[in-house]
Amino acid sequence: FPVAPEAEDEGKTLQLVESYLQNFYNLQRDHQPLLRNKGENPLAEKLKEMQAFFGLEVTGKPNPDTLEMMKKPRCGIPDVEQ
Amino acid sequence: YVFTTGNPKWERKNLTYRILNYTPKMRQADVDEAIRKALSVWSNVTPLTFQKVEDKEADIMISFAYRDHRDNSPFDGPNGQLAHAFQPGDGIGGDVHLDEEEAWSKNGRGYNLFIVIAHELGHSLGLSHSNDPGALMYPTYSYTDPKEFLLPQDDIDGIQAIYGQSDAALQPTGPITPRACDPKLTFDAIATLRGEIIFFKGRYMLRKHPARAETELNFISLFWPKLPSGIQAAYENVERDEVLLFKENKYWILKGYDIAPGYPKKIHHLGFPKTVKRVNAAYSDETTGKTYFFIADRYWRYDENKKSMDHGYPRKIVSDFGKIGRVDAAFQKDGYVYFFHGTTQFQFDPRAKRIVRQMKSISWFNC
């Protein structure tokens, strides 16, 4: 069945959020939020970290202000681990 | 400001840099100038010096790169990530990579190369991202006219904490980001704008929407890239849906996001005598169509319908508005006029012709 528009948007939003947090907040690419024990969701934790940095409301959820900030052009953070 | 994890820094003060390649989107001389100017932003406030080298390894290697450029941190095409830089260290340490696919420019179009490189060099020297929205080291891009650029105080404090002050006799200081609830906050100009109130301060504008509790801080250049910072007076002509902004002996007319063509014009175009060099504050009374301009201890009245100054002006401010002293900013809202003098605000009732209340300048920000 064609993906319902809101579900499609939801998928795009999740992709934007994951990609942003992987690029700038070191969210592990293999993070499996569902497999973790209940209390721990790395994506929500990293999202809170980002929201706190930018002085946004810390909800752990991608609200409009958070998504707007994620879409702003910015400085990259190169991977210095290696 | 924030130091990079591990506090990396260059042990030498005399560093070298090399430009490895150029972007076809700008003249080579403009790229050279942007990089030279960006380096001077940091050398002006520290003992650091930067010498250009052509044909050997340099501490800071500057290059334009495309997508995956073999540093494990690929670029992402236009917008998104604009550039990145590596912390002080050997080899790739200190290097600056710029995303070749961005619309690089030497002005307000696309992304200003000078601003981005100045930010990246902060990383090359050991600074990480600051959460001060007015700082150069804030992670998101915002345009400032390079001719008007002053390194913000937050960045000066950060870099001097790593390398110390410059040897100059007079230590440079930088703009401090206004905070809405700072009790010492004063304003350059204030105007209503389509139901909102815009408070101008330096490069910034604080935007108060009647329905939103928090106050939004933006760069003036975010909305109007061609406007200068340091606006001195402003008022809204509600009927014509225009805002007039004044700086020194010039004024601009804004219509929404656009600056009316043919502006700025000289303020004498409005009928001021040549002796008037600038306007301190202004407000417009929507019910009478009269606009009041405040200059030093006097004020003029302008008729928006006749588009000329009324006779019998200027008059002494104290004669008609009471002891409000020199006016920094003024606006009219819901029939009252609000005058700002330093950190004091006076609410004036034009019908009763007297001050009815005195408040702090920040009373509008729900502190």
Q: pLDDT tens digits for B280-332?
A: 999 999 999 999 999 999 999 999 999 999 999 999 999 999 989 899 999 99
ipTM of the complex: 0.84
Nearest 5 degrees, angle CA B65-CA B66-CA B67?
125
Q: How far is A77 from chain B (nearest CA, A)?
A: 6
Pairing assessment for the beta strands B250-255 and B354-360 based on DSSP bridges:
unpaired
Other beta carbons within 10 Å of B179 = 18
Residue B61 has pLDDT above 70, yes or no: yes
Per-residue pLDDT band at B167 (split at 50, 70, 90): confident
pLDDT at residue A30 is higher than 90: no
Give dist(CA B304, CA B291) in Å, integer: 7
Mutate which of B1, B63, B73 to test chain A, going by most A C-beta atoms within 10 A? B73
Q: What is the largest CA-CA distance in chain B?
A: 77
**pLDDT at site A28:** 82
Q: Which residues contact A39 (CB under 8 A, 6 or more apart)?
A: none
Contacts of B71 in chain A (CB under 8 A): 78-79
d(CA A82, CA A66): 30
- In order of B118, B264, B326, the CA distances from B88 in angstroms are 15, 45, 50
Cβ atoms B4, B39 nearer than 8 A: no
The closest alpha carbon to B110, from B98, B127, B120, B124, belongs to: B98
Q: List, in sequence order, every residue forming a beta bridge with B217; answer none if it has no partner.
A: B206
> Distance from B222 to chain A by nearest Cα, in Å?
12
Token couple for B188: 């350059």
Q: Is the dihedral of CA B50, A24, B145, B102 positive or negative?
A: positive
Nearest to A53 among B75, B119, B131 (CB): B131
CB B70 within 8 A of CB B108: no
The confidence score (pLDDT) of residue B23 equals 97
Chain A residue with the nearest C-alpha to that of B111 = A73
Tokens of B140: 């998101």
Contact across the interface for A78 and B73, Cβ inside 8 Å = yes
Q: Active-site residue B120, yes or no? A: yes
